[in-house]
Amino acid sequence: MAHDDLVTHFEAYSAWRSRLSNNVGDFRKWLNEQELSDAQTDLRIQHLLDRLHDDKLNVAFVAEFSRGKSELINAIFFADYGQRLLPSSAGRTTMCPTELMYEEGREPCIQLLPIETRAADTTTTEYKRYLDEWKIVPIDIKSSDTLVDAFMQVSQTKRVSMAEAARYGLYNEKDENNIVTVHGDGTVDIPCWRHAIINFPHPLLKQGLVILDTPGLNAIGTEPELTLNLLPNAHAVLFILAADTGVTKSDIEVWRNHIGNHQGHQKGRLVVLNKIDGLWDGLKSDEEIEREIDKQVSISANLLGVKPAHVFPVSAQKGLLAKINHDEPLLEKSRLLALEKSLSEELIPSKQEIVRDNTQGEIEHIEESIRSILDARLSGVREQLEELLGLRGKNEDVIEHMMSKVKQDKEDFEKGLQRFQALRSVFSQQTNILFAHLGMDALRSEVKNTRIAMAEARFTKGMLDAMNQFFIDANENITQSAKQIEEIKGMMGAMYKKFNADHGLSQTAPAPFSTLKYHKEIARLEKAYTEHFSTVLNMLTHEKLSLTTKFFETLANRVVHIYEVANQDVGNWLKAIMAPMETQVREHQLHLRRRLESIKRIHKATDTLEDRITELQHMETSILKQLHDLFLLQQHIANSLAYAQESQPAAVSA
């Protein structure tokens, strides 16, 4: 059987990641062996390794109901189980967003969040922190029948009264597009679960792939978690159409609202035209069928506003069947492999790029700081050597003179140290002001106030005003922080200059820090919210209120997250701009002490002079070797990073 393209690509990517991780690990080991690491550097490397280790790749499947999302997931990823794992049938099948992933160390299971949780404002992301809120069903991966039974859970529904459904924001009597079925007795069918997470040790999931199956029939719009979090953060989104229905009005709506113009870019967005087997008419020639498929592809492409080459005609069902029966001609005919190839080409290189840039930046930074320590040591040793070589044959008076010179240097240094400590105290005051702007407590109370203002608002406008104010405040705090950051930077800049003049600090300006990305992230959320509310609010009724509040909670959660990241970034930046001076002070102190000691020793016995010179020469050689090793290790990491550019599997197996 032809080798699965996606699997090969993914394995190559994982191999690249683990090679990279090994190289970074070697670098860390070397730093520790050479005693060049400190707690902060070690922590940074640990974070980097952690990120490389559980680096996730998210692929989402989105479409109207019954277009074959679940079938396509089965065909692409789960054919090896010889069965249809995810339930796929006519009508609505998948009732809740379903994430398939693997978390190491956890038993295989299905984790289900009860639909009743929709009555509260808590978001799914928050619930993910509290396992006891979920129903956990262990699964036995050895028996595919039990697996199929367990997976059935995601399509479970139950009957409740209309009032109850309305409380969960799932039913609105004025809305004709209700996503639930109404029975004669006035009850309605609603999903049993709000969200499902399947923890499953599939080889690709083990390597960090996360698959998101979504329920159709615009159910996406009712779960803000999907629109604001899971879909925008997916590395690839597959949008599925079906050849038997063509492109319907609701297909176009789903496309426009959730995928098509998201963030204005189409990268990682693929359109699939499924069920082409419906066009395999036995009475037509292959060419005629081909023409028919091409025609449908170009009509669909036209309606969605994408290039025909970006629409992939497939038959998920026949593809699955062909893989299970090892039927090569049918697999070919299903055109599934072309889609898989494209998916991996979209997905993996773009992810690899992100990982590469992050790792490169981090490693370069660490390497630079280690190099500057080594450089400073080297020049210290050379200075001492020069001093001692100059002492050869000098009389005691001269030595006495040298000693008083060092003592003078030491006194000067101590004065400088006092100034430095004064700077540190101003620095910490400035830092406190900065963290007050970025404070999590203030933000949380902001969220609370907005929530209250929204609940009290009687009209759409009041709600919008409350939300707008929330965004204005969130942005303003970041703007204030940016001002404070500039102030700190200015102060540190002056200090860097002074250190540069007095102690030869190699850096002359502190690293810049930009808050643009937080503004951008907030703007992105604001855009998502405006887009969604322009549709939702037009028909705002009391029933929609709970939905609106849920949207707000998800938004607020994202903003809290942005602030958390900003706090962390700022904290790291502050440490980083202080670090070179601290290191310099420490190194300088060490250097002075060594000088003083060596002159003292020479003072006692002039014959130790030669020993000391030899000792210093050894030190010089070993620092030069360290610098060379550092260069080699960095080259090594750079080489493995470069692999990302040629992500063809062939290159990896070579």
Residues that bind Mg ion (CB under 5 A): 69-70, 93-94
Nearer to ligand GTP, 93 or 369 (CB): 93
**Short-list 463, 533, 430, CA closest to 224:** 533
Nearer to Mg ion, 226 or 492 (CB): 226
Specify which residues 270 forms β-bridges with: 238
Cα angle, residue 418 at apex, residues 417 and 422 outer, rounded to 5°: 115
Interface with ligand GTP, residue 68, by CB under 6 A: yes
Q: Which stretch binds ligand GTP (CB under 6 A): 12-20, 67-75, 439-447, 558-566?
A: 67-75
Phi and psi of 508, rounded to 5°? -110, -10
Phi and psi of 30, rounded to 5°? -60, -45
Burial class (CB in 10 A: 0-12, 13-18, 19+), 105: exposed
Instruction: Tell me the C-alpha distance between 79 and 477, whole Å.
Output: 51
Instruction: Tell me the C-alpha distance between 458 and 540, whole Å.
Output: 11
Write out the two tokens for 255.
């496309």
CB under 5 to 8 A by kind: which of ligand GTP, Mg ion, none does 548 bind? none
Q: How far is the CB of 178 from ligand GTP (least distance, A)?
A: 15
User: SS3 helix, strand, coil % of the chain, rounded to 5?
Assistant: 70, 10, 20
Nearer to ligand GTP, 314 or 623 (CB): 314
Interface with ligand GTP, residue 275, by CB under 6 A: yes
Write out the two tokens for 26.
């070697």
Interface with ligand GTP, residue 181, by CB under 6 A: no
**Short-list 432, 429, 441, 454, CA closest to 563:** 441
Instruction: Tell me the C-alpha distance between 477 and 253, whole Å.
Output: 36
Write out the two tokens for 470.
């929330």
Binding to ligand GTP in span 85-144, by CB under 6 A: 88-90, 92-94
Binding to ligand GTP in span 195-254, by CB under 6 A: 215-216
Nearer to Mg ion, 71 or 277 (CB): 71
CA distances to 225, 372, 623 from 617, in Å? 64, 20, 10
Cα angle, residue 379 at apex, residues 376 and 382 outer, rounded to 5°: 150
SS3 232: coil
CB under 5 to 8 A by kind: which of Mg ion, ligand GTP, none does 63 bind? ligand GTP
CB under 5 to 8 A by kind: which of Mg ion, ligand GTP, none does 68 bind? ligand GTP
HEC-encoded secondary structure of 74-94 = HHHHCHHHCCCCCCCCCCCCC
Nearer to Mg ion, 94 or 557 (CB): 94
Q: How far is the CB of 100 from Mg ion (least distance, A)?
A: 12
SS3 459: coil
For ligand GTP (CB under 6 A), the number of binding residues is 23
Burial class (CB in 10 A: 0-12, 13-18, 19+), 375: middle
Binding letters toward ligand GTP, positions 44-63, x by CB under 6 A: -------------------x
Q: How far is the CB of 196 from Mg ion (least distance, A)?
A: 12
Q: For residue 233, give the amino acid letter.
A: N
CA distances to 72, 239, 474, 514 from 481, in Å? 47, 40, 11, 10
SS3 35: coil
The binder of ligand GTP chosen from 278, 490, 504, 512 (CB under 6 A): 278
Residue with tokens 């060490």: 590
CA distances to 86, 92, 114 from 151, in Å? 6, 15, 16
CB under 5 to 8 A by kind: which of ligand GTP, Mg ion, none does 275 bind? ligand GTP
Nearer to ligand GTP, 44 or 258 (CB): 258
Q: How far is the CB of 46 from ligand GTP (least distance, A)?
A: 41
Q: How far is the CB of 216 from ligand GTP (least distance, A)?
A: 3
Q: How far is the CB of 279 from ligand GTP (least distance, A)?
A: 10
CB under 5 to 8 A by kind: which of ligand GTP, Mg ion, none does 316 bind? ligand GTP
The binder of ligand GTP chosen from 14, 70, 207, 229 (CB under 6 A): 70
CB under 5 to 8 A by kind: which of ligand GTP, Mg ion, none does 546 bind? none
* b (16+ CB within 10 A) / e for 552-582: bbbbbbbbbebbeebbebbeebbebbbebbe
The binder of ligand GTP chosen from 4, 99, 223, 277 (CB under 6 A): 277
CA distances to 69, 296, 420 from 242, in Å? 10, 10, 69
Residue with tokens 């399509």: 155
* b (16+ CB within 10 A) / e for 10-41: bbbbbebbeebbebbeebbebbeeeebbbeeb
Q: How far is the CB of 197 from Mg ion (least distance, A)?
A: 16
Q: How many residues does the chain have?
A: 654
Write out the two tokens for 398.
């001269």
Q: How far is the CB of 65 from ligand GTP (least distance, A)?
A: 4
Interface with ligand GTP, residue 41, by CB under 6 A: no
Q: How far is the CB of 67 from ligand GTP (least distance, A)?
A: 4
The binder of ligand GTP chosen from 66, 477, 484, 598 (CB under 6 A): 66
The binder of ligand GTP chosen from 124, 274, 584, 634 (CB under 6 A): 274
CB under 5 to 8 A by kind: which of Mg ion, ligand GTP, none does 168 bind? none
Interface with ligand GTP, residue 65, by CB under 6 A: yes
CB under 5 to 8 A by kind: which of Mg ion, ligand GTP, none does 617 bind? none
Dihedral, CA atoms, 237, 239, 240, 246, nearest 10 degrees? Answer: -170
Nearer to Mg ion, 66 or 515 (CB): 66
Interface with ligand GTP, residue 5, by CB under 6 A: no
Interface with ligand GTP, residue 563, by CB under 6 A: no
Q: How far is the CB of 334 from Mg ion (least distance, A)?
A: 19
Q: How far is the CB of 76 from Mg ion (least distance, A)?
A: 14
Binding letters toward ligand GTP, positions 281-320, x by CB under 6 A: ----------------------------------xxx---
Residue with tokens 């607020």: 556
CB under 5 to 8 A by kind: which of ligand GTP, Mg ion, none does 90 bind? ligand GTP
Run of H or E residues at 210: strand 209-213
Nearer to ligand GTP, 254 or 447 (CB): 254
Q: How far is the CB of 94 from ligand GTP (least distance, A)?
A: 3
Q: How far is the CB of 212 from Mg ion (least distance, A)?
A: 11
Nearer to ligand GTP, 65 or 552 (CB): 65
Specify which residues 195 forms β-bridges with: 113
Interface positions with ligand GTP (CB under 6 A): 63, 65-71, 88-90, 92-94, 215-216, 274-275, 277-278, 315-317
